[in-house]
Amino acid sequence: MKTLLKSLLLVSLLMSAFSLFAAQTAAPAEAKRAQALLNKAVTYYEKEGDKAFAAFSRQGEFIDGDLYVFVVDSKGTMLASGGPSVVLIGRDVSTTLDPALREQFAKALAEPASGKVKQADYRWKNWSDGRVERKHVYYQRVGERFIATGYYLPRATPERAVAMLDKAVKAVETDPDATFRKVNALDSSFIEDDLYVFVVDLDTSRFVAHGFNNRMVGTDFASLKDPGGNPVGHAMLELARGQGEGEFEYQWRNPVTTQVENKHAYLRKVGHYMVAVGYYTR
């Protein structure tokens, strides 16, 4: 029995080590850059104390492309920032957060110093394009200071795409016309980061709603081609008409990165409409 327990423990340790290794090797370049910048900032702060705030808040060694360092105290007051949040220095940052995030923020500030780097996700204005986008932040508490840096996440997950599709389908089932008006008005219910809803009338093969470019409304979806000239519209319509739902891969311009990328769309038939949402991959 002891031998068996030792074997199981060894397997568990090996699996944990492998998972950590896989997570580290799979981390995007932005994550590695952010972690390196945070480590550099923490080391500098431990040496210089609060005098480090001046260096963190100017355009210099603690700026790496679109990455920057920011610092808040245990009460949530911004003390330093190398990014657009420099305008918040001296203010309680929690007042700028979505109400749903304030409790999470308060809990993070209440955590005791452990010497460990922690992570969180929230939504913040991207100073490069002015859009409010998801941001992944790494932070470490040093005394009464929380030193942090993070990067934006321009690509949504498949799970978030499916969740938005579910929401859009229910809305179309309940009140299609009101839903189309919301989608075409770029209502935040149906557009988030690189995710957006589009709807096509299967009887006419024309767009009735588009969550990113409402100039597409009324145009012929059946003749739609990707940026390379490959037809995609007709195949998606046939899939919706024949199976009632499905998935389709093609290339399209990502509204966040502005680059042509691979897109994976989920589509579903609702009455005589095809409702679709897609996410982008590198």
Confidence of residue 131 (pLDDT cuts 50, 70, 90): low
What pLDDT digit, counting tens, does each position of 219-249 carry?
999 999 999 999 999 999 999 999 999 999 9
Q: How confident is the model at residue 128 (pLDDT cuts 50, 70, 90)?
A: low
Average model confidence (pLDDT) across the chain: 86
| DSSP letters for 134-187 | EEEEEEEEETTEEEEEEEE--S--HHHHHHHHHHHHHHHHH-HHHHHHHHHTT-
**C-alpha 71, offset from chain centre:** 22
Mean pLDDT of 40-54: 97
Q: Say whether pLDDT at 27 is over 50.
A: no
CB 143 within 8 A of CB 113: yes
Instruction: Reply yes or no on whether the pLDDT at 15 is more than 50.
Output: no
- Structural domains of the chain, ranges and CATH numbers in brackets: 6-152 (3.30.450.20), 158-281 (3.30.450.20)
Token couple for 218: 């009324």
pLDDT of residue 13: 32
Other C-beta atoms closer than 10 Å to the C-beta of 235 total 15
The token duo for 140 is 């470490």
Assess whether pLDDT exceeds 50 at residue 16: no
Across 50-54, 163-167, 203-207, 256-260, least confident range: 256-260
User: Percent of the chain beyond pLDDT 70?
Assistant: 86
- Pick from 279, 30, 59: which is nearest to 159 by CA? 279
Question: What pLDDT was estimated at residue 256?
Answer: 75
Average pLDDT over residues 114-142: 82
Name the pLDDT band for 66 (thresholds 50, 70, 90): confident
Ranking 81-85, 106-110, 255-259 by mean pLDDT, the lowest is 255-259
Rounded to an integer, the average pLDDT of 149-168 is 89
pLDDT at position 130, please?
62
**Phi, psi (deg, nearest 5) at residue 265:** -105, 140
Residue that is written with structure tokens 């603690």 in the block? 62
pTM of the predicted structure, to 2 decimals: 0.59
